[in-house]
Amino acid sequence: MIRPVRARHALVPAALALTTAMGAATAAAPPVHADTGAATEALVDDYRSAYDTPGMAVAVVDGSSVETTVRGHDGDGSAVTPATPFRVASMSKPMTAAAVMLLVERGEFALDDPVADVLPEFTMADPRFREITVRHLLDHTSGLSITTNNEYVFPPPRSAADVVAELSDKALAADPGEAWEYHNTNYSVAARIVETVSGETFGAFLADEVFAPLGMDDTTSTEGCTDPAPGLAPGHEVVLGLAVPAPEMPGRCVGNGGVVSTLDDMVRWVRFNQGGLGTDLLSEESLEEMHTAQPEAEDYGLGWEVRPDPAGGEEPLVAHGGTLATWTGDMAFSPGSGTAAVVLTNGVGAPGLLTANLLAERAGAETTPVSNPMNIVNAVLLGLTLLAGTLLTTAVVRAPRWAHRRRGARRPRVVLRLVPLGLVTVLGLFLPTLIGVQGGSFSFQYWIVVAWLVPLLALFSLVCLVLGTAALARRIRCLRRAG
């Protein structure tokens, strides 16, 4: 794996005031749409076939040329176009970072200022919180962690202010600046900084100060992951080739995953970061700082990931993916070649594989075959669910016969006979919680997460829990009747 250069770059201290004239200048002529090459279309179709994606909007950018490929339909059945709205999930984070950098360039605060000084309402039960800087939030080295701050509490907090208030009784998992952990709450706190310093709601600041100057007229931001947005149809649950329109899982998306955008607007966003829109919304130094991996940040800049070049080039890609329960997307560009790829989908998948293949194909490098491992996982889960359902239903029905045969047996032997059913029941109860336990967090609310992310695992667990409990209870009841 090629490691990116990690040197920091100084920020320009001068503030850049946004004016109406500048906003008009940035909304320059739209990109030229070129005919999509056969190789690009084949890569998109292979990905869509592997993941059974209902709708996709894909662009490959090369200078002023943009190749666009659209496939399928949205959750309302309308054909996908470059103007179809998608939730971009964590691809929102670079936009939050840009909003913060705007305020930094205006001299409102510095990246290395303590968050507690910039945001007086920010407090935690851990005294180390005073050491957290704005930079620590943006590069995920604040010490905030899923182990001490469960982000999947239901119902989720509604606003950035609520997220900050929720931290008042939480602790840090590491000293600020010492360890990297991707944690969405960092960006909700950053959004609250933008609100407090600017005096606007976060969504309004993004709309007025970021999206409008860049000509991203069809892009908005929501606080919750389920909040409605203009023209936005539902995303999809996709299991074993069956795609069903479904509401998004409730969650805290403000600042970290709430942006709703279109392919055309996301192309403008990437071209801005490439320096291709001719705007001075942010200085070159600020953009370079955002795109450069920070110390201790494990290949993460300020709102952007730094990835190896799939074409084998020495200069890494600047990228970010986005994943919700019913939406996925990815964007990446090569600072060296100037090429970029944007992938938006309204279903589950791994779109980072497609962006890597699109950029590799454009560079003449070998692409990677795409397959969906979840098809195997879901097929196994479906088989286990049917098997467990059959065996446990049989155990319920035959409980009287089972109890009659053990009427004269000693109690320890009978108890041992009940242990397998007990284990199946306990497995059903706790299996969905393992998604959190492996990250150091335990909660039965992970049942909700699993129901959205891996519905067949939730179904298997429910069958084991309900039918296991029923079989166990009926056997014990029949034993008592049998004396």
pLDDT at 276: 87
What's the pLDDT score for residue 16? 25
Helix (H, G, I), strand (E, B) or coil at 214: coil
440: left (phi over 0), alpha (psi -120 to 50) or beta: left
| CATH 3.40.710.10 domain position(s) in the chain | 20-362
Residue 395 has pLDDT above 50, yes or no: yes
Task: Work out the pLDDT band at 437, boundaries 50, 70, 90.
Answer: confident
pLDDT level of residue 483 (50, 70, 90 thresholds): low
Query: Reduced to 3 states, what is the DSSP secondary structure of residue 278?
Result: coil
Confidence at 438, pLDDT banded by 50, 70, 90 = low
- How far apart are alpha carbons 58 and 40 in whole angstroms? 9
Under 8 Å between Cβ of 235 and 324 = yes
**CA distance between the termini of the chain:** 68
Burial of 298 (C-beta count, 10 Å sphere; 0-12/13-18/19+):
middle
Would you state the pLDDT for residue 236?
A: 97
Mean pLDDT of 360-374: 94
Phi, psi of 162 (to 5 degrees): -65, -40
- Condensed to tens digits (0 to 9), the pLDDT of residues 249-265 reads 999 999 999 999 999 99
* Whole-number pLDDT of residue 11: 25
Choose the most confident range, by mean pLDDT, from 26-40, 44-58, 397-411, 443-457. 44-58
Spelled out in words, what is the top-level CATH class assigned to the domain 20-362?
alpha beta
The token duo for 192 is 């609250």
Alpha carbons 266 and 285: distance in angstroms, whole number: 22
pLDDT recorded at residue 15: 27
Mode of pairing for the β-strands spanning 86-87 and 242-246 = unpaired
Name residue 272's amino acid: F
CA dist list (Å): 37 to 350, 362, 441, 479: 22, 10, 46, 71
CB 164 within 8 A of CB 156: no
pLDDT of residue 20: 28
Beta strands in 199-358 (DSSP E): 220-221, 235-239, 242-246, 259-261, 305-307, 317-323, 328-333, 339-345
DSSP-assigned letter for residue 248: P
**What's the confidence (pLDDT) of residue 410?**
81
308 with 1: CB under 8 angstroms?
A: yes
**pTM as predicted:** 0.88
**In this predicted model, what pLDDT tens digit does every residue of 107-164 receive, in sequence order?**
999 999 999 999 999 999 999 999 999 999 999 999 999 999 999 888 999 899 999 9
Give the tens place of pLDDT for each residue, 80-94.
Answer: 999 999 999 999 999
Binned at pLDDT 50, 70 and 90, residue 26 comes out as: very low
Per DSSP, helices labelled H in 53-184 are 93-105, 115-118, 134-138, 160-166
Evaluate if residue 21 carries a pLDDT over 80. Answer: no
Contacts of the segment 445-450: beta carbons below 8 A, 24+ positions apart: 445/150, 445/152, 445/153, 445/154, 446/152, 448/152, 448/154, 448/249, 449/152, 449/249
DSSP secondary structure, 309-343, as one string:
-TT--SSPEEEEEEE-SS-EEEEEE-TTT-EEEEE
Average pLDDT, the chain: 90
- At 159-217, the pLDDT tens digits run 999 999 999 999 999 999 999 999 999 999 999 999 999 999 999 999 999 999 999 99
